[in-house]
Amino acid sequence: MAVTDFFDRGWRAYPDRVAFISGEQTFTYTEIGELSCRVGNALLARGIEPETKGAVLAANDPLAWACVLGMWRAGMAWVPVNPAYPKEEIQRMLDTFDCEVLFCHEQFLPVVEQLRPELKQLKIVIALSGDAQALSAADAVLLESFTEGASSELPDYIPDADVVAGIMPTGGTTGAPKGAMNTHRSLTVSALHHMFAAPYSSDEPIVNLVAAPMTHAAGTLTLPVTARGGTIVVMHRPDPLELLDLLEKHRVTELYLPPTVIYRILEIPGIEQRDFSSLKYFTYGAAPMSTEKLRRAIDVFGPVMFQGYGQAEAPTAIAFLRPEEHFRNGEIADDARLSATGRPAPLVRVEILDENGTILPTGQTGEICVRGDLLMKGYYNAPDKTAETIVDGWLHTGDVGYLDHEGFLHITDRKKDMIISGGFNVYPSEVEQVIWTHPAVQDCAVIGTPHADWGEAVTAVVELNDAAQLTEEELVAFCRPKLGGIKTPKKIVFVDALPRSANGKVLKKDIREPFWRGHERKI
């Protein structure tokens, strides 16, 4: 099965139905499907070989997504590149992952012009639009010209299930990103898991609002939507008020946002008066969520919160906490349930392993490990890293956690984020959950910082709500009764904004760096 089969199922069943809405523009399944076929056939006519790397440098756009579908039809490997990255990072991504083909929006042609001399392996640049001068300066060809004469029928080439369909940069929250090689098989399993976990009846409308970058999870999350003939409303840039307006206007049934964005939406004045009655699944993930703010989200948005857990190496679909699982006996569940990431999906096996690779019994904490067809093929050009990460068929996620007696998976923390202070292990997520409950706190990150006597001191870096005031002494006093002396932060730093990746993850490596400059951290 190829990844494009999900779109093609919707195309065959509903050729004239609206597949994408972007501003005032609409695109039917046939319009997007035929364009993607022309792109795929044009690439094949150029002699593109299977697993040739290609990227799309564009804001959220249905036509840009059609180019991703087209690359898949030609057997290419898509390298997601977020347009919000600085140009140096864009260059590094394209260079590290050997991109030969680049589709881009007109607005990024000047960036391509600057980078082109440094990207020796880049063979062709295809612009979705642009004037002759900009195209010439970037040595680019117009998409319309590139696909001229290409067939709008499905290409004869059908990728094998084990062909690499995407080289997904890892989150980069603990170091330089690696490229997880995901196949048509692993991305297919990911989409199927979402369809299992978030079902619809045959007569229910499906309207997905894409607000997060389609270069990350939001892009692949469109696959189960189109498989069922749903409509995708595309936002070009994040704007909380516009998001709320679009949600009401189009009667959106599902959307995905990282917790940090949900926190900001919850602070919008009058949020309780907005109409969320159409929502069925409000997916959150990519980072831990405050259980206190999760309760508030359920109060505001309704019984629709839906957590997904995955990573680039096992894309987006290791485990799910479904909307009804946020409740016990008709009431919002306690922290023990809300802090869970959900039950493992059906086509993967999830176990907790100790340092020797032994499976631990229920309730014991160790590293979360996964095996099955959801797993990546390996890291691109990094066999040593692959061998460290996939051992005896088990993907070592780097997350520490446990399975409870009801089969729910709990993530205690990232293995590399654990703080060792005075010989005691402190999991930052436990401290963060307490700090998040303070009404003045918007978000926080807890790290270990160098300490001459204890090795590491628990340190909280805190972002406050707008106009909120809080002192270090007040927050320490708030934490101590709940955490005790060892886990309570010894130092609190207030910042205007925590550093975040393009897909909303707090970058703890960036937070740690100035504290550890000149020191060696052994974890």
Encode pLDDT of 80-130 as tens digits.
Answer: 998 888 888 899 999 999 999 999 999 999 999 999 999 999 999 999 999
Q: How far is CA 291 from CA 90, 188, 492, in A?
A: 35, 31, 21
- pLDDT at 171 (0 to 100): 57
Q: How far is the C-alpha of 216 from the C-alpha of 258, rounded, in Å?
A: 11
Q: How far is the C-alpha of 177 from the C-alpha of 203, rounded, in Å?
A: 42
Domain with CATH 3.40.50.980 in the chain: 28-183
Residue 238 reports pLDDT greater than 90: no
Domain with CATH 3.30.300.30 in the chain: 427-516
Q: How far is the C-alpha of 29 from the C-alpha of 9, rounded, in Å?
A: 10
Handedness of CA 491, 493, 494, 498 (dihedral sign): negative
What number is the average pLDDT over the span 365-394?
Answer: 96
- 465 SS3 class: coil
Which segments of 354-440 are extended strands (E)? 366-372, 378-379, 390-391, 394-403, 409-414, 419-421, 424-426
Confidence of residue 14 (pLDDT cuts 50, 70, 90): very high
Taking phi over 0 as left and psi of -120 to 50 as alpha, with beta for the rest, 47 belongs to left
What number is the average pLDDT over the span 62-67?
Answer: 97
Residues 426-471: pLDDT tens digits?
889 889 999 999 999 999 999 999 887 788 899 999 999 988 999 9
Q: How far is the C-alpha of 80 from the C-alpha of 415, rounded, in Å?
A: 26
Q: How far is the C-alpha of 222 from the C-alpha of 308, rounded, in Å?
A: 15
Residues 289-340: pLDDT tens digits?
889 999 999 999 999 999 999 999 999 999 999 999 999 999 999 999 999 9
What number is the average pLDDT over the span 193-213?
Answer: 94
Angle value at C-alpha 447, between 444 and 450, nearest 5 degrees: 145
- pLDDT at 1 (0 to 100): 85
Tell me the pLDDT of the chain averaged across its residues: 93
Residue 215 reports pLDDT greater than 70: yes
Domain 28-183 has CATH 3.40.50.980: yes
Q: How far is the C-alpha of 14 from the C-alpha of 227, rounded, in Å?
A: 10
What number is the average pLDDT over the span 180-202?
Answer: 96
Under a CB-based contact definition with an 8 Å cutoff, are residues 128 and 144 in contact? no
CB atoms under 10 Å from CB of 27, counted, come to 21
Interhelix angle for 428-436 vs 472-487, to 10°? 140
Q: How far is the C-alpha of 444 from the C-alpha of 493, rounded, in Å?
A: 10
Identify the CATH homologous superfamily for domain 427-516.
ANL, C-terminal domain (3.30.300.30)
Under a CB-based contact definition with an 8 Å cutoff, are residues 188 and 1 in contact? yes
- pLDDT at 86 (0 to 100): 84
Residues 141-179: pLDDT tens digits?
999 999 999 999 999 999 999 999 999 988 544 445 689
**Residue 250 is which amino acid?**
H
Phi, psi dihedrals of residue 485, rounded to the nearest 5° = -70, -40
Q: How far is the C-alpha of 99 from the C-alpha of 121, rounded, in Å?
A: 7
Q: 521 or 25: which carries more pLDDT confidence?
A: 25
CB atoms under 10 Å from CB of 248, counted, come to 14
User: Which residues, 6+ apart, have CB-to-CB distance to 79 below 8 Å?
Assistant: 53, 54, 55, 93, 94, 97, 99, 166, 167, 169, 179
Beta strand 254-257 with 207-210: parallel, antiparallel or unpaired? parallel
Lowest mean pLDDT among 340-349, 387-396, 508-517: 508-517
Handedness of CA 326, 328, 331, 335 (dihedral sign): negative
